[in-house]
Amino acid sequence: MTETEKGCDFTELKEWCLAIPKIELHAHLNGCIRDSTLLELAEVLGERGEIVFDDVKHVINKYGRTLTECFQLFDLFHILATDHETISRITKEAVEDFAAENVVYLELRTTPKNNETKGMTKRSYLKAVINGLRSVESVNVSFINPNGRTESFYDPLQKGGLTVLEKKRIYVRLLLSIDRRETTAAAMETVSLALEMRELGVVGIDLSGNPIVGEWNSFFPALKYAKEMGLPITLHCGEVANKKEIQAMLDFCPERIGHACFLEDDDWEKAILLKIPIEICLTSNLRTERLSSIDLHHFGKLFKAKHPLVLCTDDTGLFSTSLSNEYHLAATTFGLDKESILQLSTNAIHYVFADNELKKTLREIFQAYDKRLVDDFSL
Ligand code: 6MZ
């Protein structure tokens, strides 16, 4: 019997999913822009005559989107958020939004961009992201100092940012994304930048972008180089049916894969044998019509098989979702009780790309939350 069937109130479960500490490992910066910010940016560009505001407004407010429409929208987002200042702003807002959701560790991924007209290079883009992290004031953001030392705001007296008296804290690390549209040289540039910026909190590489664009062979050299240099890698894998590429990706043994909607039985056998953790994005897969109904999602069978899984949002702005919403959706669809939900969120610690010291801190945060629950029950 599910928690809901046992009479657990729907709203109460929703609030509980919001309250528990959570880890977000698959979130694209430009997919997490607030609608209000997008509209504001569009209005400014509209006034300058660079876009037709009414056309853009209609697109931003649209609810259902196919996968192809999502990628058209990303092109629009990239037009709206082109300058350094805006990149810093959307980073700041994304971190604030995840912290408000009680996300205690965030791996934010983004594609470094060159844009000559704005005087932007991949390096300056990334610096703008880091400036955005530094500018957050409403919560304590813990990332890595230029000297490579992890800033630790961890205070054992304020376990996991759960008291209301002090600011919440969120640990943030960055993944640099290679867009499938990029050339091998551009992908290589991103990996070099990630290596250079390791001391500033870059912990890995992601391969993303429109899954029907680009060839595995053109990304492979950069991904191989990243792997040789010890950078963990996560790949968008099987977002569309592409048997050959899925096989090549699994043979590459990435540290994690995202989506995995179109793996066939033999692919699953391999993924399970290799214990590759899967970043599950329920709402994204549903909204982009990767499956006809949420209860058919592969989360169900993987969860039963105890395969390493982590629930993620993908693009909170684009899909109007949040991490607590994803936990609630998983709980109500697959009949998870609170213990299983908390276990699922705690297990994510195993799959983060951050170092062991930070994993230990995260374990302490989750243990403190567990202890608080036990204390609450004994009242
Ligand atoms: C594949 C996706 C994605 O990097 O500009 N992106 N790639 N599948 C998805 N599922 C819907 N959602 C987002 O953030 C936006 C970029 O992330 C990738 C796309 O390349 C998109 O342009 P950044 O910050």
pLDDT (tens digit, 9 = 90+) per residue, 12-32? 999 999 999 999 999 999 999
> Ligand 1, from 113, 120, 129, 177: best to mutate by most atoms within 8 Å of Cβ?
177
List the structure tokens of 257.
């894969």
Mutate to test the pocket of ligand 1, among 24, 25, 26, 28 (most ligand atoms within 8 A of CB): 28
Distance 30 CA to ligand 1 centre (A): 7
Among 53-67, 188-202, 274-288, the range scoring the smallest mean pLDDT is 53-67
Could you give the 3-state DSSP secondary structure of residue 330?
helix
Phi–psi pair at 301, nearest 5 degrees: -75, -30
Which residues lie across from 259 on neighbouring strands?
237
Q: What is the pTM of this model?
A: 0.92
**CB atoms near residue 70 (< 10 Å):** 18
Atom 2 of ligand 1, residue of closest alpha carbon: 209
Q: How far away, in angstroms, is 180 Cα from ligand 1 center?
A: 10
Over residues 332-359, the mean pLDDT reads 96
Stretch 102-114: mean pLDDT: 97
CA-proximal residue: ligand 1, atom 18 (nearest): 209
**Spatial separation of the C-alpha atoms in residues 22 and 324, rounded to whole Å:** 8
Residues of the chain with CATH 3.20.20.140: 8-29+81-371
Residue among 239, 245, 279, 326 flagged as catalytic: 239
Does residue 283 line the site of ligand 1, with CB under 6 A?
no
* Residue to mutate, 66, 77, 208, 326, ligand 1, most ligand atoms under 8 Å from C-beta: 208
CA–centroid distance, residue 208 to ligand 1 (Å) = 6
Closest protein CA for atom 22 of ligand 1: 74
CA of 373 to the centre of ligand 1 (A): 37
Among the four given CATH numbers 1.20.210.10, 3.40.50.300, 3.20.20.140, 1.10.357.10, the one describing domain 8-29+81-371: 3.20.20.140
Query: Ligand 1: distance of its center to the CA of 347 in Å?
Result: 25
Check if 179 has its Cβ closer than 6 Å to any atom of ligand 1: yes
pLDDT score of 369: 87
pLDDT at 209: 97
Predicted local confidence at residue 152, as pLDDT: 45
For the Cβ of 206 lying below 6 angstroms from any atom of ligand 1, the answer is no
What is the signed CA dihedral for 178, 101, 150, 29, rounded to 10 degrees?
A: 20
Where is 347: in which H helix or E strand? helix 338-347
- Which H or E run includes 368? helix 356-377
DSSP string covering 216-263: HHHHHHHHHHHHHTT--EEEEE-SS--HHHHHHHHHT--SEEEE-TT-
Q: Mean pLDDT score of the chain, rounded to an integer?
A: 89
Q: Annotated catalytic, 239?
A: yes
Structure letter (DSSP) for residue 13: H
Q: What is the number of the ligand 1 atom nearest to the C-alpha of 75?
A: 22
Ligand 1 probe mutation, 70, 72, 74, most atoms within 8 A of CB: 74
pLDDT tens column, 134-161: 999 989 898 865 454 555 443 444 444 4
**What's the CA dihedral at 103, 107, 110, 112 to 10 degrees?**
130
Which ligand 1 atom lies nearest to the CA of residue 209?
20
Burial 291-320 (b: 16+ CB within 10 A, else e): eeebeebbbeebbeeebbbbbbbbbbbbbe
How much distance in Å is there from the Cα of 11 to the middle of ligand 1?
31
Max Cα-Cα span within the chain: 63
What average pLDDT does range 89-111 have in this prediction? Answer: 97
Residue in 316, 330, 291, 308 with CA at minimum distance from that of residue 67: 291
The answer to whether the beta carbons of residues 350 and 276 sit under 8 Å apart is no
Query: Which of 25-39, 144-158, 237-251, 282-296 is the least confident region?
Result: 144-158
SS3 label, residue 158: coil
Q: What is the Å distance from ligand 1's center to 297 Cα?
A: 21
Over residues 225-240, mean pLDDT = 98
Task: Please tell me if the CB atom of residue 70 comes closer than 6 angstroms to any atom of ligand 1.
Answer: yes
Predicted local confidence at residue 145, as pLDDT:
56
